[in-house]
Chains A and B, each alone.
Chain A
Amino acid sequence: MIVDILFSDFFGRALAGGVLIGITAPLIGIFLVLRRLSMIGDTLAHVTIAGVALGFLINLYPLAAGLVFAVLASFAIEKLRKAYKSYAELSIAIIMSGGVALASLFFTLGMGYNTDVMSYLFGSIYTLDSTDLMVVGGVTVVVIVVISLFFKEFFLLSFEEDAASVSGLPVRMLNMLLTVLTALVISTAIKIVGALLVSALLTIPVAISLLIARSFKSSVIFAVVISEIAVVIGLVIAGIWNLAPGATIVLLLIAMLILTMVGKRKFSS
């Protein structure tokens, strides 16, 4: 019975989607965490839900509608961040509440599809179809290519934005690129772990890697490896005991974080 589940088509698709998101989420997450923008994940996830709700309302592919909403919201966050330079978190609060307001408005306009939207709120990795998988795959390729091309520039941007400006780097373009990539990753990740848990996948692997890594390069590698371990083991555990996959992955990550913190304390004492 368990073997049947683990070798089923839907589990295979879930595993493939999970592995892909397991790469992209920490790859983007490390830049967000180091730039103190961890909450941006939650904000874009809430806005994506508004897009998904609109997608259901007007009969459009929900993930595409969510993706467009997330990208537009990322531009709005950048604009607001410039307007309130000393209160950057204000932009996140404004856009997040706007996203929740729009989502609830679309919910009330289309009462019939609430259960579908719920799958995006809490994630439903087992319902990934081949179109979803192609979108996730496309986003993964884009993220890996862009991060590889601009890895050193994103490093300097995160380490010291002023130094990046003084070096003549196109800081505005790089910031925008990173924000758009964040929107792409979040809008595809919500199908896996759900909008309410997506920022966990972006931040917890990075939080663990920051405890053990010495260099920037090793932090990125550790974060991706930790994320993959949590996604694969989490999915298998969820499949065997019939648990919510998104929640299992996130709780596994939290357990790994606690273990690392305890282990580090014991090791250093």
Chain B
Amino acid sequence: MLSLAQEDCHEHIIELENISFSYRDQQVISDLNFAAKERDFVGVIGSNGAGKTTLLRMIVGLLPVENGDIRLFGQSIRKFKDWERIGYVPQKNTFNPLFPATVREVVLSGLYNNKNLFRRVSKSQQRQCDDALEVMRIQEIANKRIGELSGGQQQRAFLARALINHPDLLILDEPTVGIDAETQAGFFELITHMHAHHHMTFLMVSHDMDMIEGYLGKTPKQKNGKIQFYVRHSHEIQNCEEQNLQHSLT
């Protein structure tokens, strides 16, 4: 009764169904099942080689799903087209630091998707960019080259790019790698604030146990080096669950 009421209240955002993946005859992921709902914060941990990056690349469509299925917003990834609903923050080292792009150009690129092909950047999109820069408090460095920024500023720029479309799902791949402890703490605070105040589901891949523990409030355990999921519902979700519980009892 309770679970049915919960499903009515919160949409499933990510569902992994019997996911397996092999690379050159070596099983990397085997029979993985998981589901995350609206506004969940999901920490994905696992030792090196556990298949975290492989799983993430499958979820964002960079690797084909060969065995099992991934559903995003209830739709099989094989037919999924609404990529603008997903914000993606890659690992810090995936871009060329000498690339001649300003922070503004990078943030605006979050709007370049299959639905905006051929279209010029409009004034309202420029305003969206200004808003994203303001939320991340990086408007002063909007015209600086992305490669000239510190690691923390670059992460904020990539977060702004991921947020410009107001995504329903934000995926973060090892967001604190290569960033000093102080900047990590600031970034963590920012993520915490966003989870509490924005209507978004978070999926964060990290090998940083302390970070996951700090946010999820429980000690993660790694079982045989396999992928583990740790989920925290937002405060509002807990309220909703209480409402559902009351509703189901009456």
Contact = CB atoms under 8 A, between A and B. Distances in A.
B109 A168 contact: no
A149 B118 contact: yes
B113 A169 contact: yes
A239 B115 CA distance: 50
Contacts of B99: 34, 158-159, 216
Contact of A152 (B60, B81, B94, B121): B121
A159 B106 contact: yes
A34 B146 CA distance: 14
A214 B148 CA distance: 10
A155 B145 CA distance: 15
A152 B61 contact: no
B84 A166 contact: no
Interface string A171-205: 00000000000000000000000000000000000
Contacts of A216: 99-102, 105
Nearest to A206: B100
A218 B100 CA distance: 9
A218 B104 CA distance: 13
Q: Identify whether the interface residues of A are mostly helix, strand, loop, or mixed.
A: helix
Contact of B109 (A152, A209, A215, A219): A152
B62 A167 contact: no
Nearest to A217: B105
Q: On chain B, which size bracket covers the interface?
A: 20 to 34
A153 interface: yes
B86 interface: yes
Nearest to B104: A215
Contacts, number: 90
B81 A156 contact: no
A162 interface: yes
Interface in A112-171: 149-150, 152-153, 155-156, 158-160, 162-170
A173 to B, nearest CB: 10
B117 interface: yes
Given A213-B100, A215-B100, A166 B88 contact: yes
A210 interface: yes
B98 interface: yes
A190 B118 CA distance: 31
Contact of B88 (A149, A155, A163): A163
Interface string B83-104: 1101010100011101111101
B171 to A, nearest CB: 8
A123 to B, nearest CB: 29
Interface of A: 34, 36, 149-150, 152-153, 155-156, 158-160, 162-170, 209-210, 213-219
A166 B86 contact: yes
Nearest to A158: B99
A166 B82 CA distance: 10
B121 A162 contact: no
A164 B111 CA distance: 10
Interface of B: 60-62, 81, 83-84, 86, 88, 90, 94-96, 98-102, 104-106, 108-110, 112-118, 121, 143-145
The CB with the most chain B CB atoms within 10 A, among A36, A165, A168, is that of A168
Contacts of A169: 112-114, 117
A149 B118 CA distance: 5
B76 to A, nearest CB: 15
A170 B102 contact: no
B105 A215 contact: yes
Given A152-B112, A167-B84, 12 more contacts: A34-B99, A34-B100, A162-B62, A163-B88, A166-B86, A167-B112, A168-B115, A169-B113, A214-B100, A215-B101, A215-B102, A216-B105
A163 B116 CA distance: 15
B117 A153 contact: yes
Contact of A168 (B81, B98, B121): B81
A166 B90 CA distance: 10
Contact of B95 (A155, A159, A168): A159
A226 to B, nearest CB: 14
26 contacts: A34-B96, A149-B118, A152-B108, A155-B101, A155-B109, A156-B112, A159-B109, A160-B95, A162-B94, A164-B112, A165-B60, A165-B61, A166-B86, A166-B88, A167-B84, A167-B112, A168-B81, A168-B114, A168-B115, A209-B100, A210-B100, A215-B101, A215-B102, A215-B104, A216-B101, A216-B102
Contacts of B95: 159-160
Contacts of A219: 100
Given A149-B118, A169-B114, A214 B145 contact: yes
